[in-house]
Structures are given as C-alpha cells and as structure tokens.
Amino acid sequence: MSINGELLATLLLPFMLLFGVLAYFLGKRKTTTPVITGVWGALSGLFPPLGIIFLMLLVLKNDMEN
C-alpha cells in the first residue's frame, strides 16, 4: 500500500489544526508571542507525538504576570 499526498494531508491536517489552535490559546496565557507559539504548535502537528510533548511543555510553563 502506498501513501499518496492526499491521504497524508487528510491524516495530518486535523492534527496540525488542533495542535496549532491549542498552542495559540495556551501561548496567549503563557508567552509574549502567541502567534509564533501557534505556528510552532501547528508544525509539531506533522509528528503528533512531538505535538503532544510541545503542548505538555506549554501546560507546565508558568502563566505570565500582567
């Protein structure tokens, strides 16, 4: 069985969107650059275990003081 580009995109796109959105909302509370954090989260969605580790690190990071 060969994996073509359409199948690969169908499998990875939901992970990229999910990790990107979650990283953005966590980044708003925990970093000064939420957009860059969201982009890194979306890119880490290309390899889902890496995305989960990235989100776990964001959750463990302390919130920023206002």
pLDDT, tens digit, 9 for 90 and up, residues 13-52: 999 999 999 999 999 999 999 999 999 999 999 999 999 9
Interval 4-12 mean pLDDT = 85
Determine, yes or no, domain membership for 20.
yes
- pLDDT tops 90 at residue 4: no
Distance from chain centroid for Cα 56: 10
d(CA 31, CA 14): 24
Confidence of residue 7 (pLDDT cuts 50, 70, 90): confident
- pLDDT tops 80 at residue 1: no
State which residues form the domain around 18: 13-60
What is the domain count for the chain? Answer: 1
Q: 12 Cβ partners below 8 Å, 6+ apart?
A: 45, 46
Determine, yes or no, domain membership for 55.
yes
Residue 65: per-residue pLDDT:
83
